[in-house]
Structure 1
Amino acid sequence: MAWLHRIRRSPRLVLVVVCVALLLDNMQLTVVVPIIPAFLPLLECSGPELQTLLPSVLPSLGAPGLDTASPTSDPQTFSLQEVWTEPTPEPTDQTSTDQVNETTDAAASSCLQMQHVRLDLLFASKALVQLLVNPFIGPLTNRIGYHIPMFAGFIIMFVSTIMFAFSGTYALLFFARSLQGIGSSFSSVAGLGMLASVYTDDEERGIAMGIALGGLAMGVLIGAPFGSVMYEFVGKSAPFLILAFLAVFDGVLQLCILQPSKISPGSVEGTPLLTLLKDPYILISAGSLCLSTLGLAFLEPTLRMWMIETMNSPEWQIGMAFLPAGVSYLIGTNLFGVLANKMGRWLCSMLGMFIVGISLLCVPFATSIYGLIGPNGGLGFAIGMVDSSMMAIMGYLVDIRHASVYGSVYAIADVALCMGFAIGPSTGGALVQAVGFPTLMVFIGVINILYAPLCFLLRHPAVRKRETDPKSAAGGVVPFPV
């Protein structure tokens, strides 16, 4: 048993646990992207309206989750026969036919517009709830440690995944998505704080953060294609049941590896959240995380309709459009987890924000899915540069300017990311209708380019001397490179 005890004390196993948790959390986040837009109209649009909408919301008549042979009232195996057999008015002349068609088209358009609004709210609910919960999770981990919140995140994620598998109403889907926001808050804040506490060396911590964010990237990478393929060939419940099984594996892994006594913050009192929010360096870092994420957050709800309208893209292409971003994000986080420490994390972040802006400016010029490979790939790579650098910087800023307890600072980091993913889905559809998709991409791109120079201020953050520091008698602050 001595070898087991020795292995359980390894920081690398803590890194494995955090990677798996972030992987599953972000798989659940993105697996719904290709499923819910096709599934939701089946729940709430009537037969004639659905017939009109089928070409735009479903990839084919043999659409995922539909049974064309035997009618059933279960929305998860919704029958096309039910759609076709629902009574419709029988026109007696051409005028009547035109009136029926106009009425049906108007009803279909109204139903589709309603689905867009409800879909935006559904996608945004996770980030909005996570945004509200995060400020409480950070101080909680400072008091009770990281193990219990981490395990609580697993339980909540498992419950929300099961709900997604069997929910047949919009209200239940909305509740499941919101519940996932609570679980994500527990997992991400506790996980990143745990890594910062076990990797005390700044360079090692940067590498560990890059690897952990690689797990996040892998979840984003495989979530949408996995959901799209499983939904088309197996049905709605299957991908969520598989994720629930993997979540159980993560819970068992946590029980076997994590030890609260080894990863709790200890007796050091953490810096209050409001004090951290007043730190200009932390605010600049959080702003970089939020704005670099904002572009991808706006693409999630708007790119699908833009591809359908301008490229006439089939459903499988929509799911695959985000693949370059996921692959490049995975490369960027792992590559710059190491390189950022050598070339300067502030410089990596600044360059990353410039590349984010340029990539977003290029998105509207794409005329096919192949034209999106470069812009989406550059976007994912650049966000990986910013995330891997800023996550390490925020832990380092706490070390040199505050008490080395990390729950609250990573709650701020998670709030910054959630703000992006809350603003994007909740306002993306309305903004596209108001100004157009190309104008929206240009606006977000320019904001990133204009913000990027602020990262230069992180080059030499001032070290705030504490009373426990023997050198504090000299007073003042000492510049320290990041």
Structure 2
Amino acid sequence: MSEKFRAYLIVSVGLACLFVTSGVGYYGFAVLNTPVGDEFEWSRGLIMWAFAFFFIVRGLVAPFIGRITDRFGSKKIIICGALTAAFGHFLLSQVQNIWHFVLLYGLVGVGMSGMAIIPVSSVISIWFDEDRGRALGIATTGVGLGGFVLSPVLAGFVIPGFGWRMAYIFLGLVVLALIPLVMIGIKEKPKNYSNDKEDDFKSPDFEKNDVRGVFSNLSFWMIVVAFFLTSMSNTGILQNHVDFLTTTGGFKLQVIGASLGGVGIASTFGKLGFGWLSDKIRAKYCTLLSFIFQAVSIIILLNASTLWMVWIYALLMGLGVGGWAPLSSVLISKNFGLTSYGGIYGIVSSALCIGTGIGPLIGGYMHDLTSSYYQAFLFLLVLYAIAIPAILITTLKN
């Protein structure tokens, strides 16, 4: 097997990993939380605790996942993560009360952290140098494709035909199916690999060749702040936009479900586009454009009165959200090298996951308090006024 073929095989396996973690974890929850909540009569704010705990746990373990990925390689970490996540989904099929539901989503979060963007981007960054942004863009299309494929399968076939408990068993089997692909497809490093050339790309004020070196780096912390705030905002919107548009906008559920699919499709093009663009211009300007797309889409959503406005919102939000995975990875790998990439990116991933967990919780509880999403969505929109300057003042060179 040639080195080039192996490299793109790894990209394909990475795409499959992100397809599963996104479709099963993120979009799976978006589809399943309504039938589960209806059966047990849980409020929106209450059931969002499970989603929040899922991502907060992912965020807390992300730095650890990054460090052990640097030490043991991506293949072993992904396999262990898949076994853990599958076991958690099998247990979710037997849930009886809210604390079972919340704690088991925490277990799934541990597993998903081990099979998501940290180990995937780590091994792809090792195999690609000049076309790294494009390779990461291709792999991260799995995030949008996972939602595009699995959401309608769950909502249109599995849940109506077999119920939500069998849906969790189905998702557990989907996760397990990933393991043979990882065992066959992933090789940790190409022959004669050396990361010495990565030193040429490092940020000028990054002195230490390990995770500790970023703690005094202002640009690094601006990246963390920017992605924390935007993940909080866009996820708070996406996990509540269906309820907002059906209750406030008066749209039919079938129409809004299609728009959610539009977000997934657009995010796929966003990942490819921003991945390609980050090989051509500075990644921080690509990130700025991604943030602007998201902010404008929220303004459109708050004023959506016609179906075409809903679709413009969905497409802009999808394109903007699509940039986070390739751009955050390129920003770190090109400016801080690959020797400790897993540990450094683990901190960024931690911020992303914690923000992702908090956002929907804010939206759900502000809705319960005010009987409206309007104030919550305005608050989430304002976060971009902090995130955009934060990414602009970084002094990264790539």
TM-score of the superposed pair, with normalisation by structure 2: 0.86
The answer (yes or no) to whether the contact 1:24–1:246 under 8 Å persists in 2 is yes
Match of 2:392 among 456, 459, 476: 456
* Paired position in structure 1 for 2:32: 35
Matched position secondary structure for 2:137: helix
Which residue of structure 1 aligns with residue 139 of structure 2? 212
Distance 1:25 1:358 in 2: 28
Compare 235-244 and 245-254 and name the one that shifted more: 235-244
| 1:161-200 mapped onto 2 (5 Å cutoff) | 161-188=89-116, 189-199=118-128
Aligned-partner residue type, residue 129 of structure 1: V
Q: Which residue of 2 aligns with 1:90?
A: none
Q: Is the 8 A contact 1:26 1:223 kept in 2?
A: no
Select the residue among 344, 360, 363 that pairs with 2:298. Answer: 360
User: How far apart are the structure 1 equivalents of 2:368 and 2:307?
Assistant: 22
**What TM-score results when the alignment is normalised by the length of structure 1?**
0.72
Structure 1 position 229 matched with structure 2 position 226: no
How far residue 266 of structure 1 moved from its aligned partner, in angstroms, is 9.1
Question: Which residue of structure 1 aligns with residue 200 of structure 2?
Answer: none
Deviation of the 1:418 alpha carbon:
0.5
Contact 2:363 2:377 in 1 (8 A): no
The structure with more radius of gyration: 1
**SS of structure 2 residue aligned to 1:227:** helix
Q: Is structure 2 residue 11 aligned with structure 1 residue 15?
A: yes
- Asked if residue 125 in structure 1 is aligned to residue 58 in structure 2, the reply is no
**What are the residue-to-residue correspondences of 1:291-440 with 2, within 5 Å?**
291-367=229-305, 370-399=308-337, 404-434=339-369, 436-440=372-376
Post-superposition shift, 1:194? 1.4
Following the alignment from structure 1 to structure 2, what is the Cα–Cα distance between the partners of residues 14 and 250?
13
Shift of 1:430: 2.0
> 2:203: which partner in 1?
none
- For structure 2, which runs of at least 5 residues remain unmatched after alignment? 197-207
Tell me how far apart the structure 2 counterparts of residues 210 and 392 of structure 1 sit (CA, whole Å): 10
1:247 aligns with 2:175: yes
Would the alpha carbon gap of residues 340 and 260 (structure 1) be closer, same or farther in structure 2, given more than 3 Å must change? Answer: closer
The number of equivalent residue pairs is: 382
Q: Deviations over 1:25-75 (max 9, x none)?
A: 1111212212222222323x4xxxxxxxxxxxxxxxxxxxxxxxxxxxxxx
Contact 1:332 1:381 in 2 (8 A): yes
Q: 1:347 to 1:215 in 2, by over 3 A?
A: same
The corresponding residue for 1:160 is 88
Alpha-carbon distance in structure 2 between the residues aligned to 1:368 and 1:234? 35
| Percent of pairs with identical residues | 17
SS in 2 for 1:187: coil
Secondary structure of residue in 2 paired with 1:291: helix
Rounded to whole Å, the distance in 1 between the matches of 2:153 and 2:348 is 28
Residue identity matched to 2:148: L
Whether the aligned pair in 1 keeps the contact of 2:123 and 2:188 (CA below 8 Å) is no
Structure 1 counterpart of 2:185, one-letter code: I
**Cα 1:266/1:179, change in 2 over 3 Å:** farther
The answer to which of 337-346 and 205-214 deviates more is: 337-346
State the one-letter code of the partner of 1:382: G
| Separation in 2, partners of 1:291, 1:237 | 34
Which 4+ stretches in 1 moved above 6 angstroms? 265-268
Structure 1 contact 356–379 (Cα < 8 Å) conserved: yes
Superposed CA offset, 1:58-101 (max 9, x none): xxxxxxxxxxxxxxxxxxxxxxxxxxxxxxxxxxxxxxxxxxxx
- In structure 1, runs of 5+ residues without a counterpart are 46-113, 462-479
Contact 1:126 1:178 in 2 (8 A): yes
The AA in structure 1 aligned to 2:121 is: L
Q: CA RMSD in A?
A: 2.8
* Contact 2:131–2:279 (Cα < 8 Å) also in 1: no
How much does 1:278 deviate? 3.0
Structure 2: distance between partners of 1:213 and 1:366: 29
SS of residue paired to 2:339: coil
**For residues 364-419 of structure 1, what are the alpha-carbon distances to aligned partners after superposition, in whole Å with 9 as ceiling and x for unaligned?**
111355532111211110122344223211111112xxx63311122122112212
1: distance between equivalents of 2:17 and 2:240?
A: 28
Question: Relative to structure 1, is the Cα distance of residues 319 and 224 closer, same or farther in structure 2, using a 3 angstrom cutoff?
Answer: farther
| SS state at 2:278 partner | helix
Separation (CA, whole Å) in 2 of partners of 1:220 and 1:170: 25
* Contact 2:278 2:330 (C-alpha < 8 Å) held by counterparts: no
> How many Å separate the matches in 1 of 2:297 and 2:215?
30
Measured in 2, the distance between the counterparts of 1:419 and 1:24 equals 20
Report the AA paired with residue 408 of structure 1: G
Q: What is the CA deviation profile of residues 256-280 of structure 1, one whole-angstrom value per residue up to 9, with x for unaligned ones? A: 23345769x9999x95434324322
Q: Against the structure 1 CA distance between its residues 381 and 409, is the aligned structure 2 distance closer, same or farther, given a 3 Å change threshold?
A: same
Q: Is the 8 A contact 1:23 1:216 kept in 2?
A: yes
Out of 174, 199, 224, the position equivalent to 1:286 is 224
Change (3 A) 1:131 1:386: closer
The farther-off stretch of 286-295 and 11-20 is: 286-295
Counterpart contact for 2:195–2:339, Cα < 8 Å: no
The residue matched to 2:30 in structure 1 has which SS? coil
Distance across 1 between alignment mates of 2:164 and 2:142: 25
Corresponding letter in the other structure for 1:455: I
* Higher RCO (C-alpha under 8 Å, 6+ residues apart): 2
Cα distance in structure 1, aligned partners of 2:378 and 2:6? 46
